[in-house]
């Protein structure tokens, strides 16, 4: 059925529930797990929501975010391997979260994307958008959304 499952995570509690479900599904189909966390870049202008900070501080912050992301996907990889699965831990840095998820799924030839929906409603959804909705809208690969 599924041979390669991309599990997108942001490390949140809801995302961890989706990770567990994705690993359970992968166990049923003996699929390879590709654990992904997309790391956004630090906003560098006032209009992006950033504060004026020195370039060395931006580099330090982005390095810390990348290390934190690697720890998250390595934990997912370890959980998958503990379930007897083969797994890869992948991070990428981009402000285009949904596009990065889809591109990574294509690159690793995944046949399913598993991710959580944070269930934002009303004005929050309008203002913050929904990466899950963007993945659902633009992906040609099936997407399993968990809440």
Q: CA 2 to CA 28: how far, in whole Å?
A: 9
Tell me whether residue 50 is in a domain: no
- The model's pTM is 0.87
What is the bridge-based pairing of β-strands 112-116 and 87-93? unpaired
Grade residue 128 by pLDDT with cuts at 50, 70 and 90.
very low
Structural domain that includes position 113: 4-41+67-146
Which run of H or of E encompasses 34? Answer: strand 32-39
Higher pLDDT, 58 or 30: 30
Grade residue 65 by pLDDT with cuts at 50, 70 and 90.
very high
Question: What integer is the mean pLDDT of 69-98?
Answer: 97
Tell me whether residue 31 is in a domain: yes
Cβ–Cβ under 8 Å, residues 131 and 98: yes
CA within 13 Å, CB half, 132: 18
Q: CA 63 to CA 13: how far, in whole Å?
A: 23
Tell me whether residue 139 is in a domain: yes
Alpha-helical runs (H) found in 11-111: 13-29, 55-82, 97-107
If you average pLDDT over every residue of the chain, what do you get?
89
């Amino acid at each position: 059925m599924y041979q390669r499952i991309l599990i997108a995570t942001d490390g949140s509690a809801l995302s961890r529930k989706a990770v567990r479900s994705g690993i359970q599904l992968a166990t049923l189909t003996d699929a390879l797990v590709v654990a992904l966390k997309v790391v956004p870049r630090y906003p560098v202008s006032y209009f992006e929501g950033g504060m004026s900070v020195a370039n060395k501080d931006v580099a330090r912050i982005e390095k810390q975010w990348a290390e934190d992301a690697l720890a998250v996907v390595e934990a997912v990889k370890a959980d998958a391997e503990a379930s007897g699965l083969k797994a890869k831990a992948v991070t990428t840095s981009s402000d285009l979260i949904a596009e990065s998820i889809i591109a990574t799924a294509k690159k690793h030839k995944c046949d399913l994307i598993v991710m959580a929906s944070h269930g934002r409603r009303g004005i929050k959804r309008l203002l913050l958008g929904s990466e899950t909705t963007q993945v659902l809208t633009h992906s040609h690969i099936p997407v399993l959304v968990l809440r």
